[in-house]
Amino acid sequence: MALRDRWNNRFAFVMAAVGSAVGLGNVWRFPFVCYDSGGGAFLIPFFVALFTAGIPLMILEYALGQRMQGSAPHALFKVSQIRKAERRAKDPKKSSPNWEWVGWWALLVGSTISFYYAVIMSWAFNYLYHSLKVSWAGNESGFFYQTFLRLSEGPGVLGGVSLPIVIGLAITWILIYFIISKGVGRVGKVVMITVPLPVLLMVILVIRGVTLPGAIEGLSYYLTPDFSKLLDPKVWLAAYSQVFFSLSLGFGILIAYASYMPKDSEITNNAFLTSLADAGISFLGGFAVFSTLGYLTQATGSPITEVAKGGPGLAFVIYPTVISKLPWLQGFFGVVFFLMLLTLGIDSAFSIVEGVCTGIQDKWGLHRHKSKVAFVFCLVGFIIGLLFCTKGGLYWLDIADHWVNNFGLAVVGLFECIIIGYFFNIGAFRKEINSVSEIQLGKWWEITIKYFTPLVLVIFLIWNIVTEIRTAYEGYPLWALILGGWAVSIGAIVGGIILMKIRTKHREEFNV
Ligand code: PFF
C-alpha cells in the first residue's frame, strides 16, 4: 500500500486550515452579521459560540482525520468498525450502524459549495480585469446585474451562458487542479502566498478606508455596542451559524486536511490557532468594509441602511461604487480589492475539492492517481458550474448558498457530535487527543460534544425549518426552492448511502 501523503510540516497544515477558514465570508459575511446583531456587543455571542462549539468541533474534526488517517467517510467508517468490534467482543450478536454515509453526505454537500464558489471566483477574475478601466463607473449596479450577469427575470429563465464568466470559471478550475493535483506538498507551498497576501491587501484597504472622510461614522455603525440585542435569540443563532461557516466545519475539509498529518501530531493548539486567526481576520475585514461604507454614505448622502449589504452585492456593487468615488488611484484599489477576494477565496475553494478527492482516493485506494481523481472532479465541477454562468445563474447560486448554510452544515455537525458522543468511546478519544496535544482538554469538551453543541444545532435547525416553511426564501417560486434545496439534500443522502454500499477491495482490509 502506498504511503499516505504528508504536509511538509505543522505550519503548512495550520496555514492550509486557516486558508480554508478565511474566505469571502470574512469580508462579506462577518462584518454585516456583526452590524446587524448588536455591533461591538456581537463579539460576546461570537466568542461564546467560538469557544463552546466552533473550537470543540474543530478539535473533533482534526482528531478524527488524524487518528483515523482518513477523509470524512473513511474516518466515520473506521469509527463504526471500531465500535462494532467493541460491541461484538461483549456479545457476538450485537451490531452497530455504519456511519460512512454521513461522511459522503458531507462531501456531496461540500461539492455543491465548490461548484458555486468557483463561479464567484470567476466574477472576481472578470472584475479584476474590469478594474483596470474601472468599467463599472457611473452605474455600478446596472453594470453588475445587466451588463455583466445579464440577469433574467427569475430562476425559471436560464438563457445562455455568458462567455467571460465561463472563461473565468475555466481559469478557476484549472488553478484548483494545478494546486491540488500534486498532493498536499504543493498545497502547503501555495498557502504560504494565498494566506498572507490577502491579509496584506486587506491592511492596504483598511489604511485607505480609515483615512477617508466619514470613516469614523462608518466604523461606529460597525462597532457601537447595542447590548439589548443580546436578548434576541436570533443574534445568538447568527453567531453560531457564522462560526460554523467561517471555520469551514461540517464538510469534511478539516478531517481530510488533518488526515495528512502523522497520527501523533498536536491537535488542540492547532485548532485554537486556526480559529483565532480566522476570528482576527474577520474583525479586520470589518474595518476595511465599514470605513469605506462610512465614506460612501458621506459622499452620496444615502443612509447606512441602504449601503450596508453583505454578499455579492457588497463585493460587486457597493465596493465598486466606493472605488469609482475615490479621489485617486481608482484602478489600483480596484485591483487590490479583487485580488484580495481571489486570494481569500481560492484556498477555501480548493480545500473543499481536496476534501472530496481525499474521500474518493481513500475509498478506492487511488492515492497514487491523485491527479486523475482531481482532473475528473474539476471537470465535473466546471460542467455543473455552467448552470451558474447562465442568465438565471445568480438565483440558483443564491438558493444553493442559502440551503447549504442554513441546513447542510448544521446537520453534518449534529451527526458528528452524535456519532462521536454516543456511538464511540468519547472519553478514551479525549485521552488520546490529550496524549498528543499541547493544550489539555478537560471533561468540558465531552459535555460540549455530547449535549451542548447538538442542542444548539437542533434549535438552529428547527428555527430555520420553521422560517423556511413560513416564508419562501427571497420570494423564490416553491418549485425552485424544492429543486435547488430539498432535492439536492435528499439526493446527497441517497448518494451518500449508495457510495457507502459500494464495497471496494481496498476497504476490505479495514473490515473488523
Ligand atoms: N470558510 C469560508 C469563508 O468563511 O468564506 C467559506 C467556506 C469554505 C465554507 C469552505 C465552507 C466550506 F466548506
**Contact by Cβ (8 Å): 348, 23:** yes
**Ligand 1 mean position, distance from CA 331 (Å):** 28
Q: Would you say the CB of residue 25 lies under 6 angstroms from ligand 1? A: yes
- CA-nearest residue, atom 2 of ligand 1: 23
Q: Whose CA is nearest to atom 7 of ligand 1?
A: 248
Cα dihedral 176, 182, 183, 186 sign: negative
Pocket residue to mutate for ligand 1, from 28, 108, 348, most atoms within 8 A of Cβ: 348
Q: Which residue ranges in the chain fall short of pLDDT 50?
A: 511-512
Whether 110 lines ligand 1, by a CB cut-off of 6 Å, is yes
For residue range 365-421, list pLDDT tens digits in order. Answer: 888 888 999 999 999 999 999 999 999 999 999 898 888 887 888 888 899 999 999
Separation of CA 22 and ligand 1 centre (Å)? 7
- The pLDDT assigned to 511 comes to 47
Domain boundaries, the chain: 10-501
Q: 10 vs 188, 193, 201, 344, 408, CA distance in Å?
A: 10, 16, 25, 21, 30
pLDDT at residue 313, rounded to an integer:
85
What pLDDT is recorded for position 388?
A: 94
- Ligand 1 centroid to 26 CA: how many Å? 9
How far apart are the CA of 320 and the centre of ligand 1, in A? 23
Q: Are residues 394 and 312 in contact, defined by beta-carbon separation less than 8 angstroms?
A: yes
Distance between CA atoms of residues 425 and 437, nearest Å: 19
| Cell numbers placing 193 | 502566498
| Alpha-carbon span 68 to 63, nearest angstrom | 8
Range 10-501 has CATH code 1.20.1740? yes
pLDDT in the model for residue 233: 87
**Ligand 1 atom 8, closest CA:** 348
The per-residue DSSP string of 95-140 comes to -----HHHHHHHHHHHHHHHHHHHHHHHHHHHHHHHHTTTTTTT-H
Residue 16 near residue 188 (C-beta atoms within 8 A): yes
Q: Tell how far the Cα of 253 is from the centroid of ligand 1, in angstroms.
A: 10
The answer to whether the CB of 253 is under 6 A from ligand 1 is yes
Grid coordinates given for 372? 486523475
Whose CA is closest to 16, among 243, 242, 256?
Answer: 256
Q: Determine the pLDDT at residue 507.
A: 67
Q: What is the pLDDT of residues 79-105, one digit of tens each?
A: 999 999 999 999 998 888 999 999 999
Residue with cell 435547525: 461
Tally of CB atoms within 10 A around 122: 25
Which ligand 1 atom sits nearest the alpha carbon of residue 345?
5
User: Is the CB of residue 225 less than 8 Å from the CB of residue 38?
Assistant: yes
Q: What would the grid cell of residue 321 be?
A: 461604487
- Atom nearest to 409 CA in ligand 1: 11
Check residue 358 and give its pLDDT.
96
Q: Is the CB of 23 under 6 A from ligand 1?
A: yes
User: Would you state the pLDDT for residue 510?
Assistant: 54
**Ligand 1 centroid vs 250 CA: distance in angstroms?**
10
> Alpha helix (H) ranges present in 247-318?
253-259, 268-300, 304-307, 312-313
pTM over the 0.85 mark: yes
350 CA distance to ligand 1 middle (Å): 10
What is residue 161's DSSP assignment?
B
pLDDT at 512: 43
Cell 502506498 -> residue: 2
